[in-house]
Structure 1
Amino acid sequence: MSAVEQGRKEIRDVTAWRPRVPGVVEVFHAHYTAYAYPMHVHDAWTLLVVDDGAVRYDLDRHEHGTPHGTVTLLPPHVPHNGAPVTEAGFRKRVLYLDATVLDAGLVGAAVDGPDLRDPQLRREVGRLHATLARPGDEFEAESRLALVRERLQERLREHLRPGRRAGTVRRALPEGRPPAGRLRELLDERVAQGVTLAEAAALVHAHPAHLVRAFGAAFGIAPHQYLVSRRVDRARRLLLDGLPAGEVAAATGFYDQAHLTRHFKKLVGVAPGRYARTAVR
């Protein structure tokens, strides 16, 4: 790697916090240059706007992009990645919304059409971000979130198409393929304590190798990648709540702080300690 490439990788600005607003799990602002997200999942709806540059990403085995002016909505538990389109990178603002904020029946529509060209929605999302950055304006933020939620639901319902919805929902939700769905439910139940592959195979009555292949075929991500991304999600919230990184590692199923740091940097782009220090208090 050249010195220029190494320098580009170090140009990252990250700010994250957990507002006291029901439904908003986390606010995340970042500027990335050469950093690329590997395939991962979130347990929340990811509401994303890109202010500078553009992001290319894969969702449900289809390539997408975030041209200027769009609002991107990624559903819970559906694997995706992300990378900058140009060397200049991208600057983004993200709201992670509780899975209950939007109807689970809209997951298929979000998978089919995650990038929404909607100037009104874009303005409302921007106003919500501005309000969330001001402590003491929680009631206003709740009001703005209600407007954003309503608009998102309207747009997603427009995208519902009877022939395509069933297919995407089957891949996105546990009932898609019985062994894979049961394994995902098991991993969700044991995010911190984990499970061995042999134990999982015995519990869902499947051969270990078949179970791994079935999970990847159903959800587009390996079981271990799914579990690690769920653990990192949980670690993010605990770090923003003020828990020390060592305690966070133990609470989220990582072997030690170094193990947490390795996976956290891979998925978030910065180390846990730096991430916690950026939080808006």
Structure 2
Amino acid sequence: MASRQDIAAWRPSVPGVEEVFHAHFVEHAYPMHVHDAWTLLIVDDGAVRYDLDRHERGTPSDTVSLLPPQVPHNGSPATADGFRKRVLYLDMTQLDERFIGPAVDSPDLGDPLLRLRIGQLHTVLAGRGDELEAESRLALISQRLREHLRPGLTVAPAAPGGAVARNLRDLLDGRLLEGVTLDEAARLLHAHPAHLVRAFSAAFGIAPHQYVTSRRVDLARRLLLAGQPPGEVATAAGFYDQSHLTRHFKRILGTTPGRYVRCGAVRAPAPADVPAGRPAGASSVAPTGLATVR
């Protein structure tokens, strides 16, 4: 009899993540096998039992499991209703071979914050765009995994928090429309990606990806009030398309771009130019009320 299952798998355009895999298995049991990548696993319903390096392990729904590459493991349901899991396959840029031994010894991590961050990253990867958010969340996840496995191998901050935060803000402002990846920002500013995210969030009370999104929404708002059609505004403000703009516009301003213009907003004369950078006299941080990357 065929096992009951529901699966989805895709390869996201986020450096460091080789594959995303979501599955609900009721009866399926994995035989012993290996992966070339790190297997970062959370279980949403039920539980999984597995063998790793000749030791029996288990993953209840409140833990995170990190299975190292090239180490055989299996997996099967530990409850009658099976299990529902979400998996990220991470390449060796996130955790190198030094962490394989510690992961074999302690693959299951009881860390609610880490589990929350992994779930948030899955949510981002299931949508479209927001690469900077995905990269930011991945950087924090990878650093926390390193802290669990071998604290002595974590990367120390490369620069004082305030200075690097201001430098990152200037870089984000200068590349508002075309965007900048977290890895590129780290190279340009000579700082570790996770340190960039933490320093920026601490300095300005908002995560880098939220800052960029809110700046783009603010630019879109001004373009709309200047009379530019919503379909043109999306790409002019740095969004992928109109639906991408609408999703973030509504989340931040509480209404859609079209309704925002129709709701009696007074249209000012079209400006000669709407700059992409931070406008003179404008606040250096985005509107408050947005949750930061934790």
TM-score for the superposition, normalised by structure 2: 0.51
Q: Which residue of 2 is the match for residue 219 of structure 1?
A: none
1:132 equivalent to 2:132? Answer no
CA distance in 2, matches of 1:159, 1:40: 31
* Displacement after TM superposition at 1:125 (Å): 0.4
Q: List gaps (5 residues or longer) in structure 2.
A: 154-294
Mapping of 1:119-268 within 5 angstroms? 119-157=112-150
Contact 2:51–2:74 under 8 Å retained in 1: yes
1:113 equivalent to 2:106? Answer yes
Deviations 1:83-138 (A, max 9, x none): 00122100000000012311211111000000000001001101110011111111
| Runs of 4 or more consecutive aligned structure 1 residues displaced over 6 Å after TM superposition | none
CA distance in 2, matches of 1:125, 1:116: 12
Letter in 2 for 1:107: I
Contact 2:50–2:58 under 8 Å retained in 1: yes
CA distance in 1, matches of 2:151, 2:132: 29
Letter in 1 for 2:16: G
1:80 equivalent to 2:69? Answer no
1:56 equivalent to 2:49? Answer yes
CA distance in 2, matches of 1:67, 1:91: 11
Contact 1:34–1:89 under 8 Å retained in 2: yes
Q: Which residue of 2 is the match for residue 22 of structure 1?
A: 15
CA distance in 2, matches of 1:93, 1:129: 8
Greater per-residue helix proportion:
1
Letter in 2 for 1:17: W
CA distance in 1, matches of 2:25, 2:122: 19
Task: Answer with 1 or 2: which has the greater Rg.
Answer: 2
Letter in 2 for 1:74: L
Deviations 1:14-61 (A, max 9, x none): 001000000000000000011000000000000000000000000000
CA distance in 2, matches of 1:159, 1:126: 27
CA distance in 2, matches of 1:99, 1:114: 17
CA distance in 2, matches of 1:68, 1:138: 27
Mapping of 1:31-70 within 5 angstroms? 31-70=24-63
CA distance in 1, matches of 2:104, 2:7: 27
Q: List gaps (5 residues or longer) in structure 1.
A: 1-5, 161-281
Contact 2:4–2:28 under 8 Å retained in 1: no
- Structure 2 residue aligned with 1:11, among 4, 8, 29? 4
2:39 is paired with a residue whose SS is strand
* Displacement after TM superposition at 1:158 (Å): 5.1
* Displacement after TM superposition at 1:72 (Å): 0.2
- Number of equivalences: 153
Q: Which residue of 2 is the match for residue 264 of structure 1?
A: none
Q: In the superposition, relative to structure 1, how do residues 12 and 158 fare at CA in structure 2: closer, same or farther (>3 Å)?
A: same
Contact 2:47–2:78 under 8 Å retained in 1: yes
* Displacement after TM superposition at 1:159 (Å): 10
CA distance in 2, matches of 1:113, 1:159: 16
* Displacement after TM superposition at 1:139 (Å): 1.4
The sequence identity of aligned pairs, in percent, is: 68
1:71 equivalent to 2:90? Answer no
CA distance in 2, matches of 1:112, 1:73: 11
CA distance in 2, matches of 1:139, 1:106: 26
Contact 1:109–1:159 under 8 Å retained in 2: no
TM-score for the superposition, normalised by structure 1: 0.53
1:100 equivalent to 2:86? Answer no
Contact 1:51–1:90 under 8 Å retained in 2: yes
Contact 2:14–2:131 under 8 Å retained in 1: yes
Contact 1:113–1:159 under 8 Å retained in 2: no
